[in-house]
Structures are given as structure tokens and as C-alpha cells.
């Protein structure tokens, strides 16, 4: 039976109750993280925690737990849910106030902490030779000016993703003033002439933990990588497009709007990066997938 965590207790999801006065419910006044775990081992935990601390600080919500407490909570939640390959979702809201007021409650109220797990589907990088790509569409980035904060206020992202799904695509790649920002729930990479590029970190995108790992792996393995602006034209003319996120890892985009990217198959740079990614994951989490078995 799945277990979730709410404000100090583990319980069945149907037993978790939150006040309608919670500012997460009334104002989407909260921060979240999604941390993958393989074989029950949290992946890039310190990086996710550092981003969580930064997001909380940016919106002035007190971090209710120390890093050691967060680690213990995540481990216990994973354990209650059978370990394995799961993502941990954790959300902290400013808490429930007496009345609805746009300004923060004063004195501050106790933050609400909610955590749950979800299964991670077998990612494309695990089988680079047989993986198939996804379709994406381009849409205008209609979100706010602080997309670097991992806020639970995801209505624009949700609307954008739904538009992609309605068009038979798996992701929306967003454009602001003619430049690529990111996906509705992912970061974006393009490859042209062997060089990999991804937009630089700014307030316009979430600083993805997977994005940072891909950048690190490219540097480590001598794959040419630039962090620079990408125009809509450069996106359309790319040899390869990838999207990255903690739950999907690195996914090749082989169809963009009505056009084929490259030859319509995952490209050679993606395959090479996928192998490095899986090796790295295997080293850190003790995985033994058929592709990586010696
Ligand atoms: N989303 N950009 C946006 C807007 C995202 O929502 C996400 C991830 C990313 C990738 O970040 P990371 O590599 O740290 O997961 C980029 C998560 C998975 C979600 O909302 O479920």
C-alpha cells in the first residue's frame, strides 16, 4: 500500500488532509522538488536540496528541515514504498493562515510539508540502441519572469503541456522573444555540426539538475558543449534536440511540429551521451541494466 508523508507522519494517501486555508491551495504559495531514486538510492540529492533551499529563500518560506532530516524523510518514504526506481515529490507551502490575505501571515505560520513517491518509467537512456524519440511542438512561453524558482504555481506549464498533448506531442518547447527557454517540464539541448548547446541559466528557466549533469558529462567526456542562447531557427534546423528532466533523464526529440529532426531517429551525440549517463547512474546507484552489464 503506498504511503505519503504529511506534516510529521507517514500515512495512506486517502488519510492525508490539508486545510483549504493552506496558502498552497489558495495562492499556489509553495515550492516543490522531484528527486529520482534508483534501487532506493537518491540521485543528485545534494543538488536537489540546494535548489530547494534556494527556491524557499527566494519566496521567503522557512525551510522546516535540516539536510539530514530531509535525507532521513526521503529514505524512510522510499522504504515505505518498496524502494526500487521511484521519484520523490516533496512540497512545502507557506502554511494555513486564519484568513485569506495576499500578504504573508504575520506572525508566520507553520509550513506544510507533503511528500509522495511515483514510479519512474524505464528511461530512453537505458537502451540507446533501441530507444525511439518523442514529438514536441513549439509554443510561446506564457509564464512569469521567475521561472528559476521551482514554484508549485504550474498552471501555465500545465496549459502548455496540455496543448502539446492535444497536438499528439509529448512536450512543448517554449519560445520567448524568438529564443528557446525550456520545455513545459524539462530543459532543452540542441546539437548542430557535433556541437551541443543549451540555454544559459537565468530567471527565464529552471536550473535543471539533469541539465547540469548533462553539461558536466559533456565536459568530462570531451563532447563540445556551449551554454548560449538558441534561436527558434537554430532549434528548427538542429541535427538533434534533447529534453532533460529528473524523471525522464535525457530524451531525444525526433519530431518538432510537423518536421523531422535529423533523420527522425535518436542521433549519434544523444547515443553517446546516453551511454555516459547510464554509466554514471550505475556507478552512483549500483544499477545493473542489460545495456550496462559487463
Ligand atoms: N520538472 N524545467 C521545468 C519547467 C521543469 O518543470 C523541470 C522538471 C525541469 C528539469 O529539471 P530537473 O532536471 O531538475 O528535473 C526544467 C519536474 C520533473 C516536474 O515538475 O515534475
Helices (H) and strands (E) in the chain, counts: 7, 15
- Residues 154, 32: Cα–Cα separation, whole Å: 11
Please work out whether the CB of residue 171 comes within 6 Å of at least one atom of ligand 1: no
Q: Of 30, 29, 69, 76, which is closest to residue 49 (Cα–Cα)?
A: 69
Please work out whether the CB of residue 211 comes within 6 Å of at least one atom of ligand 1: yes
Q: What are phi and psi of 234, to 5 degrees?
A: -65, -35
State the closest ligand 1 atom to the C-alpha of 182, by its place in the atom list counted from 1: 2
Put residue 89 in one of left, alpha, beta given phi > 0 → left and psi -120 to 50 → alpha. Answer: beta
How confident is the model at residue 211, as a pLDDT? 98
- Specify the residue with its C-alpha closest to ligand 1, atom 1: 185
- Specify the residue with its C-alpha closest to ligand 1, atom 19: 185
Q: Are 270 and 242 in contact (CB under 8 A)?
A: yes
Q: Which run of H or of E encompasses 54?
A: helix 45-59
Active site residues: 150
Task: Report all structural domains of the chain as residue ranges with CATH numbers, in order of start.
Answer: 4-120 (3.30.470.10), 126-282 (3.20.10.10)
DSSP secondary-structure letter at 203?
T
State the closest ligand 1 atom to the C-alpha of 205, by its place in the atom list counted from 1: 2
- Average pLDDT across each block of 10 residues of the chain; the chain has 294 residues. List them in order: 95 98 98 96 97 98 98 98 95 98 97 97 91 97 98 98 98 98 98 98 98 98 98 98 98 98 97 97 76 39
- Residues 131, 250: Cα–Cα separation, whole Å: 11
- Specify the residue with its C-alpha closest to ligand 1, atom 11: 208
Please work out whether the CB of residue 187 comes within 6 Å of at least one atom of ligand 1: yes
Amino acid at each position: 500500500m503506498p504511503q505519503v508523508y504529511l506534516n510529521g507522519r507517514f500515512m495512506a494517501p486517502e488519510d492525508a488532509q490539508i486545510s483549504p486555508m493552506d496558502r498552497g491551495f489558495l495562492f499556489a504559495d509553495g515550492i516543490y522538488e522531484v528527486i529520482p531514486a534508483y534501487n532506493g538510492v537518491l540521485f543528485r540529492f545534494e543538488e536537489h536540496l540546494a535548489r530547494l533551499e534556494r527556491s524557499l529563500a527566494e519566496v521567503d518560506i522557512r525551510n522546516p528541515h535540516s539536510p539530514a532530516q530531509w535525507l532521513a524523510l526521503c529514505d524512510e518514504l522510499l522504504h515505505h514504498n518498496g524502494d526500487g526506481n521511484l521519484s520523490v515529490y516533496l512540497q512545502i507551502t507557506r502554511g494555513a493562515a486564519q484568513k485569506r490575505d495576499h500578504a504573508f501571515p504575520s506572525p508566520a505560520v507553520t509550513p506544510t510539508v507533503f511528500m509522495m513517491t511515483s514510479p519512474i518509467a524505464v528511461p530512453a537512456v537505458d537502451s540507446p540502441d533501441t530507444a525511439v524519440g518523442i514529438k514536441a511542438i513549439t509554443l510561446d512561453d506564457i509564464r512569469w519572469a521567475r521561472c528559476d524558482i521551482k514554484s508549485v504555481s504550474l498552471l501555465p506549464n500545465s496549459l502548455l503541456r496540455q496543448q502539446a498533448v492535444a497536438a499528439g506531442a509529448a512536450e512543448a518547447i517554449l519560445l520567448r522573444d524568438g529564443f528557446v527557454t525550456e520545455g513545459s517540464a524539462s530543459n532543452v539541448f540542441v546539437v548542430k555540426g557535433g556541437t551541443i548547446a543549451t540555454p544559459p541559466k537565468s530567471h527565464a528557466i529552471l536550473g535543471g539538475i539533469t541539465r547540469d549533469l548533462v553539461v558536466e558529462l559533456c565536459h568530462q567526456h570531451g563532447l563540445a558543449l556551449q551554454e548560449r542562447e538558441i534561436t527558434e531557427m537554430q532549434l528548427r534546423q538542429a541535427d538533434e534536440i534533447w529534453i532533460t528532466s529528473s524523471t525522464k533523464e535525457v530524451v531525444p526529440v525526433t519530431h518538432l511540429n510537423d518536421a523531422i529532426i535529423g533523420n527522425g531517429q535518436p542521433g549519434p551525440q544523444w547515443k553517446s551521451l546516453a551511454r555516459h549517463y547510464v554509466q554514471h547512474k550505475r556507478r552512483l546507484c549500483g544499477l545493473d541494466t542489460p545495456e550496462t552489464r559487463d
